[in-house]
Structure formats: C-alpha cells, structure tokens
Chains A and B, each alone.
Chain A
Amino acid sequence: MARKLPPVNVVLVGFGWTAAILGQELTDAGLNVLALERGGWRDTSTDFAVTFAQDELRYYWRRALFEEPARETLTFRNSPDQTALPMRHLGSFLPATGVGGAGIHWNGQNWRFLPSDFVAKSHNTQRYGALQEGMTIQDWGVTYDELEPYYDKFEYLCGISGKAGNLGGKIQSGGNPFEGPRKREYPNPPLDMVYGPTLFAKAAAETGHKPFPCPAANMSRPYTNPLGVTLGPCTYCGFCEKFGCGNYSKSSAQTTILPVLMRKKNFELRTQCEVLRVNHDDAAKRATGVIYVDAQGEEWEQPAEIVILCAFAQHNPWLMMLSGIGKPYDAKSGDGVVGKNYAYQIVSSVDVFFDDKIMNPFVGAGALGVGVDEYNGDNFDHGSLGFIGGGYLACWQTNGRPIEYHPTPKGTPKWGAKWKQAVAKNYLTSLSIATHGAVMSHSNNYLDLDPTYRDVHGRPLLRLTFDYTDNEHKMSDYLTDRAEEIAKAMNAREVHAKKRTGHYSIVPYQTTHNTGGAIMGTDPKSSAVNRYLQSWDLHNLFVMGTAVFPQNPGYNPTGTVGALTYWAADAIKNQYLKKPGPLVQA
C-alpha cells in the first residue's frame, strides 16, 4: 500500500531534456515542481569526466549510460501475426536512465522540421492525391510559424552552431535554403570543418546541390546562454554521441539548465524513484497524482495538481496504458488513440574509399558535418516516384572509435588476415555519406501492452509492432541512389552503397528516434493530446517528447521536442494556470 505524501503543484515524470525545460519554466511561474527520475544523479565531473570519458568499451558497448533491459524493456515483432519477444539487450535504439536522459548521449544534431511536415496529411493529399492504403499520417494541429519562436528559444538555450538558410523569407547563401523562415541567425557560427565533409560539399555542389554546415549542439566557441550558463568550445574529441561530453561543450540539461534549476527552492528532484502509474479521477477529468516506487521497493503516492509525462519517447504512452488513460489503439478497427502511429527513421549509407586522402576520422563531433536537403520532406516533386516524404543526406565526421568504426570495402572477409589488412589500409582514408529518412505512420505500426512478459515491477511490457512499408523502402532507396551519385563525383577508389533492405530488425544500432503512441492532433478521436500536448481525457495531464509526433519527418527530433516543450510550457503558464481546463474544446 502506497503511503501518501503532501501534494505539489506539478510532478514531472522523468528528468531529461523536457522535464528540465518545464522545471525551469514552471518554477519561474512560481509553482512548486517535483521531478521523479528512475535513475541517479549524473554530472560531467563525476560520471564522464574528461580524464576517463573516452572509453569506448564502457560507455557504448557496455551501455554505461543507457536503460537496462533487465529492469524495463519492450517486446518486439514485425507484424501483428507474429509473437512478440523481449528485446533482451539494447541494439536498434538507446534510451537512457538517469538525470539528463538521452540528452546526455545524443549527437547534438539539432534541426527544425519543414513547414510542410506539420501539415503532412493535408499537404500531401492536396499535391499527390489519396494516401497509400494503411498509411495513417495526420496534421499536427500546430504550424511551423506558431513554433518558430519556440524553436528559436531552444536553439538559444543550447547555443546551436550553424548558418541560417532563410532569414525572414530571404534565402541566405551558405545555409540550408529549404528550411522554414527563421527570425534570426543561429547563436553560434558553424563548427570548423574537417576534411571529409568538405570533399562531400564540393562534390554535392558540382552535382547541383546546395550543401550547408549541419546545425550542431556542439559549441563552435564559448557560449553563455540566456539563463547565464556557460558552455566551453568543442574540442572535436570524437567521444560525443553515445557518450557524455567531458568538456561541457555539448548542450544537455546538465550544461544548459540544471546549474540554475537545481538551486531553486521551489524545485525538488528525487532520484531512483520510478513512476509506476498515474492516478486519475475520470469523473472530474483530472489526474490526481502518481504512484512511484523508490530504490528500496517502497511505494509512495505523490498527489499533484498538474502531472506531466517527460519520460523517453514510448515510455509515455506505456505509462498511459498502464494507468488506463485514453482509449487504447486497436489495429484491426483503427479505433482508439493510445499506442497509435509508432514511427521510427530509415537510414542507409554510402561508404567512400580513397587511396591517398587522409581523413583523420577520430577528429570529430556528434553533429560535425555537411548536409544536403534537396530530397527531404516535399522539397522535391514526388510525381510518379511512388512514395511521399524524404530525408537529408549528410557527410558526418563524428568519430573514429575503432570498435565501432573500422570500414572495409565490399567483399572483405569479416575476420582473418585479409580483414586485418583492409582495416589497417582504410581506417584513415574513408568517409561515409548517411541518408536519414522519414517514416510515415501506418495502421500496423503501433504500441500496446504485451500479454506475456513483465518488467521488474511486474508490469506488462510495452509491445512494439513495427516494420518498414513499401513507402519507406522506395524512399530510402531513392535517397541512397542520390547519395551514391554525389559519392561518385568524389573521384574515390571505391564507392559502396549500403541500402536498407528487408524487415526492420531490433538488432543493429540504427537511431534512437522512436516516435508516436501519444500523438497530437485536432480531434480526440484520432489523437491522444491536443495541440498544447494536453491530454484530451484529463485536462491537467500533459505529454512531452517524440511520443506526440503523428509521424516522423526526415530530421533528428530533438530541436522539435525542445520547441514543443517550450510551446506547451507557455500554454500552461499563460493559459492553463489562469483557467484550468481543456485548452481546446473537443
């Protein structure tokens, strides 16, 4: 039996990027805010200090900063007719546990979505006619123009390094000409560029593209953000994504918000406290608080006037299902909303091998690279291509960590003397072009509760049913072909295009861009939260993170997650607190 604690104004479930932003914004509004984090306190000097942060085995391969499947995992299958089995160790994606969440080990690739991405359904049907059968994409209920100030706010919090491509509608040379209009430049100039991406930029320009430095949450110079927190310049150490930054040079909750938030007396953080479910009074259409368990196994009831789910992506809809909030999605009928429209990303690459060009791949940063955006979203005519959506192409130089990075040409054996020779020959003289494609939502890609497997607390695991559809494969092949054309213009010894083929697999690492399951929209029949990320069912429950994406556009999600969080915080502070109740009438 859980023992009841004194109420707080706001309880935040999880303490990563979105909770840190909300903690800061809502304590500023005078509220008492409590964050409950299932993992421990984490900080630069104690957990990934520069004296030992560069440890490939410990942090990536032995998963030091990530979620432990022994405690919580999910089950997975490709289609509803299969039996889902547990993801027994991490692979395809890497959620985190602990303060700062996955924002500690992200690359820092910080993008805005295209204006047309937010109206994907109406835009695409207007231009190309009816959607493919089974495709369940929706409009977001919020527009790019509405989000622009909040994108800006997150970029200035983080100190993003980049070059604007569109200032107030005027295209800027050197930036991404396809981006939506922005009101001002990035807070910091682009990072210095290493060799490989400059070769890609040259080849891309020669083949008629407009390459640009990718926006990075790695600091190109010292930066003090609007909260007064200072980040140091990036040292290009190559231990960035999948690692914590030892140098205070990558934006995270730790390096941008916590030094201010943690000092506030109206904020409290409890670590090693895992929320099991949300309590609610359906008659009153209100959440009443949460039940959590601490590391000793003791259960507590924490009443709160506002409950905000800030856990990693799919954990938020999981908590809603475990708490009986919202109507669960039924894939057969298409009814219900919670668990609907899980999506991911589809990625491929083209490896380029030179004989004589030294790349020094170990000089890198998580978001150091040159991009090409001609084939993203609806930046190109999809005419008779047979798919919608797209993605960017980029030549990143993030790392030369040798367990992970030791490229070999096509046909090289996987071990033995020839493998060793190929690794030694190509390590310094190769690069790779990545494609980063959208995933449109589909009626058979969804989340629900597993009937068999349980987590460490005895709760049913989340069950993931997901596969790429024809739309994704066609699109990804198209992107890979375009990347190969640019690669061939680089006059290399050898080009090896690695298309994404077959069914989605939970095994190899692809990306931690899991989306959907508690999607936002304009209608409670087809979405779980409204345009302010407020539950349609319980007006004092809000849901953050990528779970609210109705489908997944062709960019990394964090920039939009940050913008949506500031947008929701603004609505809570300036609308909800004045008149608690539904912010949108159903």
Chain B
Amino acid sequence: MGDPRNRSRGFEMAGTPVSRRDLLSAGVVIGSTVALGNQSAEARSYSGAVPWTPGEANAPTPVEPGPFQYLTQDEVKFLDAAVSRLIPADNLGPGAKEAGVTTFLDRQLAGGFGKASSWYMQGPWKKGEETQGYQSKMTPAELYRAAIKGIDTYCAGKFGGKKFAELSTDEQDEVLKGVEGGDVKLDGADSKSFFKVFLQNTIEGFFSDPIYGGNREMVGWKLIGFPGARYDYRPYVKKHGEKLNLPPVGIKGRPGWNPST
C-alpha cells in the first residue's frame, strides 16, 4: 500500500504491499511492537479485483524428524513414562508414547505454543479466581520445565532417590493423581495448572494429524474409528447405523501413498 495517499486505483491483483523504500522515504521506523504472534504482515490495499496470487497457499508446516528441539534427556524420560500412564498401550492398541506424543510435545513446546506467542503476557500478575483462567507468568514451555523438575524432585524425596520414570506404574499413577488434584505441591510450578495443560496436550498429540509428530500411523484415529482428513462424506450421510470402516487418511495421505507418512 505504501503511502495510502499515493495509492494508484485499479486492478491490483494481490494487493499493493508497503515497500521498505516507501517507509524509509516517509521517515518511518521499521520494526514496531505491533508485529506479534503469527498474524504480523504488511498493510495492503485492495481495489478493483478479487485478490489472487497463483500458487500461493498458507499450508501447514509438518514437523521434521530428528533430535529433540526443546526437551532435555531427563524430560524425555519423564514424558515417555508419564504419557504412557495417561494413554497406556493395551490390548486395544498402542498408547501415547508409541504414538509419538513425546515428539509432538517437544515440537509444540519449541514453537509458538510453547512460547505463548499469541497469549496476553503482560502484568501485573495475580492469581485470580478459577473463572478468570490461566494467570501464570510462565509460558507452557517454562511450565513443563519447572513442573517436570518439581515432580522428579518430589519423587526422589518420597521414593528413595528414584525419579518418576524409575517408579512402578502404580507409583506413577499415584504421583500423577496427586499432581492432578493439587495434593503434590511442586517447587516453582502450580501442579494443577501443569496437569491440565499436560493432559490436554497429550490428547492433542494422540489425536492430531500425524504431520505434527504424534498419532503415528494414525493409531489414535484407528482406535476410535475416525477417518481423518477426509472432505466428502455425502455418500454416507444416509447410511444410518452402518459401520463404515473407512481407513483413516492424514493431510499427507497415508502409508502406502507416501512412505514418510
């Protein structure tokens, strides 16, 4: 758009961007505080045509395989053990660990979600009422780090120096119940707040599209019979009460179409 005073009317197919030169010539300082989160971009003007740029789509970014980006080795051990209690492997099929939920959590915590990049994170900070929602100064990534450390410290004190991952599954369940209910107090983190976000993120990792690192081989979807990223069910609307047995498909397809899914 540049200086809107100089905007040329007419057929601007993709909108007219503000160029750096326009701004510099107008004496404007670039790099302002308004560019936050994932919606920062430049101002544009559109008139006389429907905006259209060939080949442009805001497609999702799949996670890359490879080493952990945020989690430490100790945190990985904790999460592998803990997500196995939240959604265990059993005779119904793989659990959260086998589904890659730890990798999912790592990538989420390393990215915008972990940094709370779209959240309002200005003080003053007060605890508030339950109905007022999350009021911690910590980002999700900071909360995970502090809570995992706190839970391992708690376990070491209670179970003769053992960390959470080294406990029996019954002991692990007991600790997690204490964290969930707030009976297990943690150094540096609110146990109930952590459990809430941890359980939610684990379910996300188990059921979200495999491009985000969890739900490997669509095991979460297979467990319940969700056919995934399909877009046309018209032939099935009137099949009342019939089990459809549609194999699930992800955004990238499914194994057999593409070995990397």
A284 within 8 A of B: no
User: Which B residues lie within 8 Å of A571 (CB)?
Assistant: none
B182 within 8 A of A: no
The A-contacting residues of B in range 1-49, CB under 8 angstroms, are 1, 4-5, 7, 9-10, 15, 18, 23, 26, 28-30, 32-49
B209 touches A427 (CB 8 A): no
Distance in Å: Cβ of A54 to nearest Cβ of chain B: 4
Question: Knowing A69-B119, A89-B119, A358-B242 touch, does A46 contact B57 (C-beta < 8 A)?
Answer: yes
Partner of A456, one of B9, B36, B48: B36
The A-contacting residues of B in range 230-249, CB under 8 angstroms, are 230-234, 236-244
Which of B68-76, B122-130, B155-163, B184-192 is the contact stretch? B122-130
Smallest Cβ-Cβ distance to A421: which chain B residue: B92
B51 touches A43 (CB 8 A): yes
B118 touches A237 (CB 8 A): no
Measured CA separation A532–B1 after assembly (Å): 34
A271 touches B88 (CB 8 A): no
Partner of B120, one of A63, A70, A198, A363: A70
Considering residues B7, B121, B122, which has the most beta carbons from chain A within 10 angstroms of its beta carbon?
A: B122
Question: Knowing A41-B44, A70-B121, A89-B134 touch, does A402 contact B85 (C-beta < 8 A)?
Answer: no
User: Which B residues lie within 8 Å of A272 (CB)?
Assistant: 41-44
Question: Knowing A43-B51, A270-B43, A416-B173 touch, does A362 contact B59 (C-beta < 8 A)?
Answer: no
A420 touches B231 (CB 8 A): no
User: Which A residues lie within 8 Å of B224 (CB)?
Assistant: 402, 406, 423-424, 427-428
Partner of A57, one of B87, B204, B233, B234: B204
Partner of A270, one of B28, B45, B90, B176: B45
B42 touches A505 (CB 8 A): no
A78 touches B129 (CB 8 A): yes
A78 touches B131 (CB 8 A): yes
Smallest Cβ-Cβ distance to A457: which chain B residue: B34
Measured CA separation A117–B229 after assembly (Å): 41
A295 touches B34 (CB 8 A): yes
Measured CA separation A271–B42 after assembly (Å): 8
Question: Knowing A70-B36, A70-B37 touch, does A424 contact B92 (C-beta < 8 A)?
Answer: yes
- Count of residues in B whose CB is under 8 Å from the partner chain: 100
B207 within 8 A of A: yes
A68 touches B118 (CB 8 A): yes
Measured CA separation A507–B1 after assembly (Å): 39
Measured CA separation A332–B256 after assembly (Å): 68
Question: Knowing A70-B121, A296-B18 touch, does A87 contact B226 (C-beta < 8 A)?
Answer: no
A237 touches B232 (CB 8 A): yes
A71 within 8 A of B: yes
A147 within 8 A of B: no
A494 within 8 A of B: no
Smallest Cβ-Cβ distance to A43: which chain B residue: B51
A93 within 8 A of B: no
Question: Knowing A82-B129, A85-B132, A453-B122 touch, does A68 contact B15 (C-beta < 8 A)?
Answer: no
Distance in Å: Cβ of A330 to nearest Cβ of chain B: 23
A296 touches B28 (CB 8 A): yes
A474 within 8 A of B: no
Measured CA separation A40–B44 after assembly (Å): 8
The A-contacting residues of B in range 117-170, CB under 8 angstroms, are 117-122, 124, 126, 128-135
A207 within 8 A of B: no
Distance in Å: Cβ of A104 to nearest Cβ of chain B: 13
A225 within 8 A of B: no
User: Which B residues lie within 8 Å of A274 (CB)?
Assistant: 34
A543 within 8 A of B: no
B37 touches A68 (CB 8 A): yes
A439 within 8 A of B: no
Considering residues A57, A84, A194, A259, which has the most beta carbons from chain B within 10 angstroms of its beta carbon?
A: A57
B40 touches A295 (CB 8 A): yes
Smallest Cβ-Cβ distance to B238: which chain A residue: A192
Distance in Å: Cβ of B134 to nearest Cβ of chain A: 5
Measured CA separation A568–B52 after assembly (Å): 32
B241 touches A357 (CB 8 A): yes
Distance in Å: Cβ of A148 to nearest Cβ of chain B: 32
Contact with A along B209-221 (1 / 0, CB 8 A): 1001000000011
B133 touches A505 (CB 8 A): yes
A452 within 8 A of B: yes
Smallest Cβ-Cβ distance to A298: which chain B residue: B28
User: Which B residues lie within 8 Å of A86 (CB)?
Assistant: 120, 122
Measured CA separation A239–B231 after assembly (Å): 8
A113 within 8 A of B: no
Question: Knowing A296-B30, A357-B241 touch, does A54 contact B229 (C-beta < 8 A)?
Answer: yes
A58 touches B118 (CB 8 A): no
The B-contacting residues of A in range 42-58, CB under 8 angstroms, are 43, 45-47, 49-58
User: Which B residues lie within 8 Å of A61 (CB)?
Assistant: 204, 208
Which of A164-172, A260-268, A344-352, A441-449 is the contact stretch? A260-268
Considering residues B28, B58, B112, B202, which has the most beta carbons from chain A within 10 angstroms of its beta carbon?
A: B58
User: Which A residues lie within 8 Å of B29 (CB)?
Assistant: 297
A403 within 8 A of B: yes
Distance in Å: Cβ of A304 to nearest Cβ of chain B: 13
B209 touches A362 (CB 8 A): no
B118 touches A295 (CB 8 A): no
Measured CA separation A83–B238 after assembly (Å): 52
A383 within 8 A of B: no
User: Which A residues lie within 8 Å of B236 (CB)?
Assistant: 236, 360, 363
User: Which A residues lie within 8 Å of B64 (CB)?
Assistant: none
User: Which A residues lie within 8 Å of B59 (CB)?
Assistant: 49, 51-52
Question: Knowing A78-B131, A195-B241, A269-B45 touch, does A259 contact B37 (C-beta < 8 A)?
Answer: no
Partner of B43, one of A271, A362, A424: A271
Measured CA separation A357–B51 after assembly (Å): 47
Some 28 contacts from A to B, beta carbons below 8 A apart, are A43-B51, A54-B231, A58-B60, A68-B37, A77-B129, A77-B132, A82-B129, A85-B135, A88-B134, A235-B232, A236-B233, A247-B231, A259-B50, A265-B48, A268-B7, A268-B47, A296-B32, A297-B33, A297-B34, A360-B233, A360-B239, A360-B242, A415-B87, A415-B202, A416-B173, A419-B87, A428-B243, A505-B130
Given contacts A68-B38, A88-B119, A424-B224, 14 further A-B contacts (CB under 8 A): A41-B46, A43-B51, A71-B39, A236-B236, A237-B232, A265-B10, A265-B48, A270-B1, A295-B42, A296-B18, A402-B224, A427-B226, A456-B34, A505-B131
Which B residues form the contact surface with A (CB < 8 A)? 1, 4-5, 7, 9-10, 15, 18, 23, 26, 28-30, 32-51, 53, 56-60, 85-88, 90, 92, 95, 112-113, 116-122, 124, 126, 128-135, 173, 176, 180, 199, 202-204, 207-209, 212, 220-221, 223-234, 236-244, 251
Top 9 nearest A-B pairs by Cβ distance?
A: A297-B32, A294-B43, A57-B208, A427-B224, A195-B240, A54-B229, A505-B131, A402-B207, A69-B120
